[in-house]
Amino acid sequence: MRYDLTDLQLFVNVIDAGTISGGAKATFLTPASASERIKGMEDALGGRLMVRGKKGVSLTDAGTAVLRHARAILQQMQQMQGELQDLGGGAKARVRLLCNTSAVSEHLPRLVANFLRSHRAISIDLEEGTSQQIADAIRDEVCDLGVLSDAADTAGLECHQFRPDPLVLVLPDGHDLAGRRAISLAELPDSEFVGLADDIALQQLITRQMKRSGRRVIYRVRVRSLENVCAVVGQGIGVGIVPAAVAQRERRSAGIRCVRLLDSWTQRSLLVCMRKREELPAHAEKLLAYLLRQKQGKEETADGKLRPRSMTAMSP
């Protein structure tokens, strides 16, 4: 039985995409070529690896075993590539990093930019997802690292504290509640909200928690960024829920006030998670070590020097 690396990568991509055509596209093959390769794998095994259906593909027991080993082999190849890159040769090493909305929009852009400036042989695939999606993706070895909320189920993962990331209520200047220092959502009078689009991870969290509390939420406006939530709220068109770091940064320019939320689900911290640190490729370990050095209130610049993070990013 002989499978080459393209076969293994194709097999993983098909399962991740849910269809042979989707896996073929991710592997830069035609659907016909992908189907032929999978058939060759099944012929070599002497049994079926997946079942094709109207809703996509599903794994057989043999396919589940192949998927587990394929992911491990491909990860080992990445580790080897990263180590060889450190020795001066080969293509750029790539880190697969998944992050929740707050991490992507507020905490990571400058850190990632600084890291890439000082590690020119490393590239980063940065994608957004909900915290639970990220935890599941790490378990399935879809990504190397994830930055997610501590509210997610991280059982079986190795996690490190990164930064506090509470959510706050933002109100326009002059709002009746603008003088409050803290409030629970149950105390909030019926209000129109400014929210994010439904496909954004943070909005999915807020919607889910609001439903659990039994609160009916009316959205007056939906926007695509946290900065736009603050800007629209500042114009007096409703209230919003955003990370504290964003609210503090936008407070003056948007004309908003932020009020600390007392609901337990809003009191969250960000974690950096992985399956096992000792199994990380060398380039992913470098990014992890860099991120963990940034959690104590200082940021490392491209020249290796530390500088304090801005107070607006740290204030609750």
Residue-range domain boundaries for the chain: 5-82, 92-164+268-314, 167-266
Calculate the alpha carbon distances from 238 to 175, 234, 291 in Å: 10, 9, 36
For residue 50, pLDDT over 50 is answered with: yes
Calculate Rg over the CA atoms of the chain: 23
For residue 127, pLDDT over 70 is answered with: yes
The pLDDT of 254-267, averaged and rounded, is 96
Provide the pLDDT for residue 86: 55
Global pTM exceeds 0.75: no
- Using pLDDT thresholds of 50, 70 and 90, give the confidence band for residue 141: confident
Give me the half-sphere count of Cα atoms (radius 13 Å) on the Cβ side of residue 11: 31
- Using pLDDT thresholds of 50, 70 and 90, give the confidence band for residue 315: very low
- What kind of architecture, by CATH, is found in domain 92-164+268-314? 3-Layer(aba) Sandwich (3.40)
For residue 233, pLDDT over 90 is answered with: yes
Beta strands 167-172 and 256-261: pairing type?
antiparallel
Determine the Cα–Cα distance for residues 299 and 283; give it in Å rounded to an integer.
Answer: 20
Considering the domain 167-266 in this protein, what is its CATH number?
3.40.190.290
The pLDDT of 228-253, averaged and rounded, is 96
CA angle 182, 201, 170 (to 5 degrees): 25
Q: Are residues 107 and 163 in contact, defined by beta-carbon separation less than 8 angstroms?
A: yes
Q: Does domain 5-82 have CATH number 1.10.10.10?
A: yes
Q: Are residues 257 and 175 in contact, defined by beta-carbon separation less than 8 angstroms?
A: yes
| Residues in CB range of 95: below 8 A, 6 or more apart | 122, 123, 124, 125, 144, 145, 281, 283, 284, 287
Provide the pLDDT for residue 216: 86
Q: Are residues 141 and 71 in contact, defined by beta-carbon separation less than 8 angstroms?
A: yes
Provide the pLDDT for residue 308: 52
Q: Is the fold of 5-82 the same as that of 92-164+268-314?
A: no
